[in-house]
Structure 1
Amino acid sequence: MSITIDKDSELAVLPERIRKFPFPFANDFYRYSANVEPANKDVATEVGNWGAGLIDIDEFYHEELADREAILKRDPSRMQVLPHMRTAVWDSIATLLPSMAAENPEIMSFQRDGDTCRWQNSLQSLDLEFTMGDDDSLPMEPMRFLGTQIQDDIVLLDVRENTMWLDAGLVTFAADWSFGFDVGMTFAEIHGPVPRVKEENIVSRAEKFLLRLQPGEQFRRTNWTMTVGRRLDTSTETYPEWGPDRGTIADDPDMPNKLHLRVEVQHLIRLPHSGVLMFLIRSYLLPLSDIAKVPSWREKFGHVLAELPDDMAEYKGIIRYRKAASDWLLSGKSAA
């Protein structure tokens, strides 16, 4: 029997991080799929909503941008732009800044007269005039500048030879993959290690869909994994810092507060001028203790973890603790 809650009463007390969380499961099981839908479509959940806009700005804005700054200082390779992708980076700026201003007019403003632009972001006390296409008119490299304004990671795929190539991006919050390793690879090569997707033709179907996108079209999908602690940077480069936690969290009495469901909202956009495909990857973290505050989420996620095939659990890196997490979710216990 499905468990429900009084949505109106819960909305008044649940924090924003729960009310705006993009809970990804509609069923009690999960399999890989393209799960692509049009962007900018508001999604109602049991306790709130998400997805009405392209760029989500939330309570973690300053924290996550400061985290990105620290990561880039330690490892500048997290941002790479091959020379032929410079135009696509400016195309990204010309696409995202007006969208952010339109979605957040109380805190942001974008004005353009020819190539002369003015960008205002009151969250950063920023009032910047620059010339579209002129790298020297920005206080830093164009891709780097864009990464100071949005919480999303950015991946740019060039289209040539009837496929897509990862030729630029800024990725500080990778979930168990390496942006630096993948730069220069094709779309199919990047997704080669994912179990089941080749046999079920998911990658080839996704590639065909993306190649058919028209300039300006925007779609999105969700993906998920789990993370120990509120840590967005779980790249393979930093595995020694977070990998050992996977082996100990199942026995940790504080597991419900430390173990997080990580959901990525991935926007897929065919840039209007360059024709490059832009992937925006926005990552959200919610601990099991918060998920348990929504009974239907607790039940669904518990069953998803229990039923998930071993090869998929292994690839997601959750196989050592998924039973403990599932058992806790389905037990109905409260977090300590």
Structure 2
Amino acid sequence: MSITIDNDTATLPDRIRRFPFPYTGDNYRYSANVEPSRKLTETEAGGWGTTVVDVDEFYVDDLKLRAEVLQRDPSRINALPHMRPAVWDAITTLLPEMAEDNPDKMSWQREGDRVRWRNTLLNLDIEFTVGDDASLPTGDPLDFLGSQIQDDIVFLEQRDKQLWLDAGVVTFAADWSIGFDVGMNFTEIHSPVPRVNEEKIISRAQHFLMSLQPGESYRRTNWTMTIDRRLDTSTETYPQWAGDRSTISTDPALPERVHLRVEVQQLIRLPRSGSILFLIRTYLLPLTDIAQVPAWRRRMGEVLAELPDDMAEYKGIIRYRKAASDWLLSG
């Protein structure tokens, strides 16, 4: 498939060229939209997706924000005791791959169970023993993993013909709570989403995940909109940002403040523990940046104009989606 480039991509900043623009048509409905990981997806602005763990210009700032969120609210990291081997499995799976993808910034050297991990972006050079929590700087493998990758991290365990959310560190949730969801099954977690149960999307998604083989990795995208570049829109912080939804439609700064929020969700069957690792990487781009790519501007405007009210209500955008759509289409 050929891609028509609307702009000279060399003149666009990285945040636009690498943005995972989610729309493939002028309307949107929920779907599994699953595809293999590590596959380049070309867009009108550039492309994205060649790595599982993306390291971009916001890496240091995002991890600093995660540390601040966890300090204020330790409930954002939660793990049932039996998940410890799965967390170590994730560490020994993801960090070597990050080092391979970013050899000028990171390195992973392992001899037996001894590891030396260097991450120049964080001025980190440490040694630890795989499986020994006390050898890590944080003393907690899940906390340590969350300090190295920008993604939110969720672990799903398979039992009783269901998937269960048994561990996670989630500081950048889009209006949900890891503290509330830990211990729930896959169907319970997704039951509030409109249309997905009637269309059997959740049951199909769960069947797909449970059929993943060790080492297999797939991805999908999801989207909503956020006012300002606010990564932490968890249920716990609702009072801090919910009010903006009712006032932004008349704000002259709407194009700068309203952001398209895209999650790239990686679905990985860990090779040793067999647990399913669910990574959620969040990207934010203001409408002013969307508008720098004419094809994106028109398409997003059409999607927002056509989106059914129940989906707009669930995404929390119903009060301002018309204003956003009108601005995009006016260009």
TM range (shorter): over 0.9
Q: Which residue number corresponds to residue 75 of structure 1?
A: 73
- Measure how far apart 1:270 and its partner are: 0.4
Equivalence for 1:64: 62
Residue 37 of structure 2 corresponds to 39
Indicate conservation of the 8 Å contact 2:6/2:293, yes or no.
no
Aligned to 1:263: 262
> Could you report, residue by residue, the CA deviation over 1:58-115 in whole angstroms, capped at 9, with x for unpaired residues?
1111111111111001100000111000000000101100110111111110011111
Residues 263 and 284 in structure 1, CA contact (< 8 A), matched pair in contact too: yes
Equivalent residue number for residue 121 of structure 1: 119
1:69 and 1:109 map into 2 onto residues whose CA distance is: 23
1:5–1:295 CA contact under 8 A, matched in 2 = no
Residue 323 of structure 2 is matched in structure 1 by 324
Q: State the AA in 2 paired with 1:43.
A: T
User: Which letter does structure 2 place at the counterpart of 1:223?
Assistant: N
Structure 2 residue 27 is matched with structure 1 residue 29: yes
For 2:56, the aligned partner's letter is: D
Q: Where does residue 166 of structure 1 map in the other structure? A: 165
The one-letter amino acid paired with 1:137 is S
SS, match of residue 326 in structure 2: helix
| Secondary structure of the structure 2 residue equivalent to 1:198 | coil
Structure 1 residue 266: Cα displacement: 0.2
Distance 1:173 1:246 in 2: 18
Superposed displacement of residue 6, structure 1: 4.4
Secondary structure at 1:180's aligned position in 2?
A: helix
| Match of residue 105 from structure 1 | 103
Structure 2 residue ranges without an equivalent (≥5): none
Moved runs in structure 1, 4+ residues, more than 6 A? none
Alignment of 1:225-236 (within 5 A): 225-236=224-235
Structure 1 residues 5, 36: CA separation in 2 closer, same or farther (over 3 Å shift)?
closer
Q: Which amino acid counterpart does residue 277 of structure 1 have in structure 2?
A: I
TM-score by length of 2: 0.98
CA offset at residue 154 of structure 1?
0.1
SS of 1:12's equivalent in the other structure is helix
Where 2:322 maps in the other structure, the secondary structure is: helix
Query: For the residues of structure 1 that align with 2:23 and 2:237, how far apart are their CA atoms?
Result: 29
Rounded Cα–Cα distance in structure 1 between residues aligned with 2:132 and 2:155: 19
Deviation at 1:174, TM superposition (A): 0.2
Quote the Cα distance in structure 2 between the aligned partners of 1:253 and 1:47: 27
> C-alpha displacement at 1:13, in angstroms?
1.2
- Pair 308,6 (structure 1): closer, same or farther in 2 beyond 3 Å: closer
1:14 to 8, 12, 15: 12
- Alpha-carbon contact 2:6-2:295 (below 8 Å) kept: no
RMSD: 0.8
Provide Cα deviations, 1:116-160, integer angstroms capped at 9, x if missing partner: 111110111211111001001101111111111110000001111
Residues of 2 paired with 1:223 and 1:142: CA distance? 28
Structure 1 residue matching 2:296: 3-state secondary structure: helix
Change in CA separation of 1:30 and 1:6 when aligned onto 2, cut-off 3 Å: closer
Equivalent position of 2:252 in the other structure: 253
Corresponding residue SS for 1:168: strand
Question: Structure 1 unaligned runs (5+)?
Answer: none
For the residues of structure 1 that align with 2:299 and 2:117, how far apart are their CA atoms? Answer: 43
Q: Distance in 2 between matches of 1:172 and 1:264?
A: 13
Deviation, 1:5, is 4.9
Tell me the distance in 1 between the aligned counterparts of 2:228 and 2:122: 27
Tell me if the contact between 1:234 and 1:242 (Cα under 8 Å) persists in the aligned partners. Answer: yes
User: Is this contact kept in 2: 1:226–1:259, CA < 8 A?
Assistant: yes
1:291 is aligned to 290
Aligned residue in 2 for 1:276: 275
Take 1:30 and 1:63, find their aligned partners in 2: how far apart are those partners? Answer: 32
